Chains A and B, each alone.
Chain A
């Protein structure tokens, strides 16, 4: 059974700092990996999708890397802003047969950026 772990569970940083969020997964037979942002009481917003053949993906101040063989992904946020405060979730996408793709999530990292 695929298990996804995110470290740290919570992180507090001063505004302007660069930071790294970590995600690890137990089964390297993944199809893709996706990073999401979740604001309190809200749904999930897709940030980046990394296909299993890719090493990294960038969007603005965000950079996500993937090392499939070691079961790790990192999300790098440059020059953090108070508006980045949210919970960041990592999800691995696996093919579970019969045309079904399933996302398995970690518990998330709660980020607070202090002005």
Chain B
């Protein structure tokens, strides 16, 4: 078990470009979350998957954002036509659907800088 893995760790892009991030959850974890964190703030919820189904999306997830989790394993988060306000740390977390615990484990994050 290598923990939650995110790729890339850092991404610098020009405004207007599209970017895609990948998250590999802990194996057998069927719940997967995406969060966004800006400097000095706590992480804010973006979206949630249970297996391959996207069950919840935040209002923060505008039409330029799309997330997928094909086959219920890894997940991708794509941002189209990036804006400077998209600059943030994007965090992925996974947990195991269990009656006893909801403990979430986070990856190291992808730091996005839009210039």
Residues of A whose CB lies within 8 Å of any CB of B are 4, 31-32, 34, 36, 41-46, 49, 51, 89, 91, 93, 96, 98-108
Contacts and interface: CB of A to CB of B under 8 A. Distances in A.
**Top 5 A-B residue pairs of the complex, sorted by shortest distance between their CB atoms:** A105-B42, A44-B106, A43-B108, A100-B56, A49-B103
Interface of B: 4, 6, 31, 33, 35, 40-45, 48, 50, 55-56, 91, 93, 95, 100-109, 111
Give the interface centre of A31, A36, A43, A49 by most chain B CB atoms within 10 Å: A43
A44 B95 CA distance: 14
A34 to B, nearest CB: 7
Chain A residues touching B, majority SS: strand
Nearest to B48: A100
Contacts of B45: 102-104
Nearest to A93: B102
